Amino acid sequence: MAKYFAVFFTTSVIVCCASVFAAAQEPSLQDILQSRMQTLSTSPEERAKLKAKFRADIAEIEEEIADLGPQLKTAKENMISGFRVVGGSYNATKSETGLPRLVLALDVRNAGQKAVAGFSADISVYSPGRSVPWIKDKIKHRIAGGVEPGEGHALKLSPNPYDAEWNRSALYGRDDLTAKAALTSVTFSDGKKLLHPTRHLAKLEQDLQDKKSALAMWEEMD
């Protein structure tokens, strides 16, 4: 009896560990599509509708990429000569009550001709002598009062203290952490948004590849 129990217990542990490991892995686009195809009806009419939707999406993305191409140089020049993040730092301490106090400081300048109401950026936090950042994350920030042409502001942002990406014990008490910001978009006072051209193009190209892969998978069923 003990022998059978040991075998059952060992097998259960292996199955349980395998399940936990599988759950921890991010499913790929193809895994999701394959799972979806197994649960959907595979009638010719339904497959035709899905393929038509993918083709329409592909055509829309290709048109956007074509329209973006001639604007890349001008848009990049506008981004560089206009709003910029010129410096940054990161500081992590604890308050008197022991709660995390996280501060992302960014210095911004507006050398353009339009007032800026907000921006989004990819943030990387480094320490001296290390080429790999401690923190990599995306932020989106609305600037109270905006930044008028010719102005500069020293912004102090408060990352989520419960976000493990920002709340790292190894960074507490350090005063040598620098923050670098790669702008992904700028929103002007009139509500218009300028997307960073090369990063937007990269996203479009990835979306296009995903759609083409999905369409190919459905076409293989015919």
Architecture of domain 82-196: Sandwich (2.60)
**How many CB atoms neighbour CB 136 within 10 A?**
11
State the average pLDDT over residues 166-188: 92
> What pLDDT digit, counting tens, does each position of 3-40 carry?
443 443 344 433 344 333 333 345 555 555 655 555 45
Q: From start to end of 70-177, where are the E strands?
A: 83-94, 100-110, 116-126, 135-147, 152-157
> What pLDDT digit, counting tens, does each position of 22-32 carry?
333 455 555 55
User: pTM here?
Assistant: 0.57
Domain locations along the chain: 82-196
State the average pLDDT over residues 69-74: 62
User: What would the two tokens of residue 144 be?
Assistant: 């109270």
